[in-house]
Amino acid sequence: MNASILPGATIGVLGSGQLGRMFTIAARRMGYRVHVFSPEKDSPTGQVADLEVADSYDNVDAIDRFAAGIQAVTFEFENVSSETIARLEDLLPVRPSGRVLSTAQNRIREKTFLRDVGIPVTPFRRIASTADVQAAVADGSFPSVLKTADWGYDGKGQVRVDSAAALPEAWAGIGQNDAILEEFVDFQGELSVVAVRGDDGQFEAYQPIANQHRNHILDLSVCPADLPATVAREAVEVTRVIFEALGVVGVLCVEFFHCSNGGLLVNELAPRPHNSGHLTVDAHMSCQFEQQVRALCGLPLGSTELLRPAAMANLLGDLWSDGEPDWAALCALPNVKLHLYGKQEPRVGRKMGHLTALGSSAAEAAQLALAARERLVS
């Protein structure tokens, strides 16, 4: 085990969106200084960090200068090149590691890794050539979902393919890029398990969270998920196996399909805190961002105890279509917490913030979260 990096030290984060912002707030609350590196200026993270460095991830000299001012670094999104991470790993601790990031960056590598270690995943095949398309047309199962292998998030770079005849056009529509074709899953719900592992092997997981999406973007998350106890335990155990097999040190989220037959399939991995885990800030003893700080700095992990059932509703730029939302109406609700990310330009589909509602039950919290969001535009 490496020596702990204690409060008072300076730590870094690559990426400057809302995840980096909430990581920085947690780190500063614990007494750390935080430097952020991204191509953006006046970013959500930069607004709360001690130092904001705006430069390209491919600028080796800038990366070296950034590394010289910090003692360890994490990242808040996957779209950082493996070359940049490898450079940083030569200079200081990077958590999670470049191996974890590389695996999760590419859907084919990710699904292949999961399948090879015995994790149940959606049946899939690689689409990288016309011959692959023709083979899938000949013997593939449809409907399916075609996804770009790299750089996809929030439903971007993916399309449902309802028949074999539609596959060639779908592949052309994503630029004939390296892709993965996954069989469509008949599921009753979508779940996530956010967990953290320390460099000493300590593992802590939050209870499974139930997720609802709208237009491929997470809309509502509820904890605890309404699941049979056996399914909840299985989701956490699968998550533990993935952490051990991949050697994760840090926070990672495992997204599941809860199939109609009652089984679980892993959909994808997010090697960082996750949108669904935002409710941990208000509802749990230690939030996912504090856990990210603890794991990065080699400290003992915090408790994942749920203090009160909670629901999180995303606030997208759509809410600004008729003017500024009515924040006072939302803040009048005593069991609702508002989180805004400091983004200056609201756009349709852009995550501008979220709210968390607390209740005596998960169902009550979910109902309150949706009603609170309605107040913003009523």
Sheet of 144-148: strand order equals 124-127, 179-183, 144-148, 158-161
Question: Tens digits of per-residue pLDDT, 192-210?
Answer: 999 999 999 999 999 999 9
Residue 57 lies in a domain: yes
Same domain, 160 and 280: no
Same domain, 325 and 197: yes
- pLDDT averaged over every residue in the chain: 95
Query: Residue 151: its pLDDT value, please?
Result: 65
* Whether the predicted pLDDT of 56 surpasses 80: yes
Question: Tens digits of per-residue pLDDT, 80-117?
Answer: 888 899 999 999 999 999 999 999 999 999 999 999 99
Query: Residue 153: its pLDDT value, please?
Result: 58
Same domain, 167 and 265: no
- Residue percentage of the chain with pLDDT more than 90: 86
Query: Residue 139: its pLDDT value, please?
Result: 83
Same domain, 203 and 335: yes
Structural domain containing residue 166: 123-183
Same domain, 22 and 151: no
Query: Residue 155: its pLDDT value, please?
Result: 55
Question: Tens digits of per-residue pLDDT, 323-361?
Answer: 999 999 999 999 999 999 999 999 999 999 999 999 999
The model's pTM:
0.95
* Whether the predicted pLDDT of 154 surpasses 70: no
Residue 354 lies in a domain: yes
Residue 118 lies in a domain: no
Same domain, 253 and 340: yes
